[in-house]
Amino acid sequence: MKKKIKRYVGFWAEDSKSLLPRASDFIDEELSKKCRKKIINYLRLASHNGFNFTKGFSRCRICKTITPGSHEITDGEYIWPSGYIHYIMKHNVIPPPRFLKKMLRRNLK
Ligand SMILES: [Zn+2]
């Protein structure tokens, strides 16, 4: 059986030396409320698929508050940190286009 490729999203650069993307580059204030709600619902629904629990916590790269959880979540294809939802709810960060498309296709209320 062919193993599905895992795609990492929402792992952000801590400083300017990091090769990871910066969360602030993905803010989209134009994203509709309806669309954002679907994204949040998708992430919440998958939140029981947590793994890689660590003892540490992570601070938001934008507002520096502690983000929820200290583990990773997967939907089987994508992997994101538990704090990813904070960026969507508080800062209007949008997922990469392919992931967004997948979320919106699910058509969660
Ligand atoms: Zn924040």
Q: What is the mean pLDDT of residues 40-55?
A: 91
pTM of the model as a whole: 0.89
Domain ranges of the chain: 29-105
Query: In 10 A of CB 4, how many CB atoms?
Result: 8
CA of 66 to the centre of ligand 1 (A): 8
List, for residues 13-33, the tens digit of each pLDDT value.
Answer: 998 899 999 999 999 999 999
DSSP the chain: -PPPPPEE-S---SSTT-SSPPGGGGB-TT--HHHHHHHHHHHHHHTTSEE---S---B-TTT-PBPS-SSEEESSSEEEETTHHHHHHHH-B---HHHHHHHHHT---
CA of 3 to the centre of ligand 1 (A): 34
Whether 1 shows a pLDDT value over 60: the answer reads no
CA of 5 to the centre of ligand 1 (A): 29
CA of 23 to the centre of ligand 1 (A): 10
CA of 90 to the centre of ligand 1 (A): 6
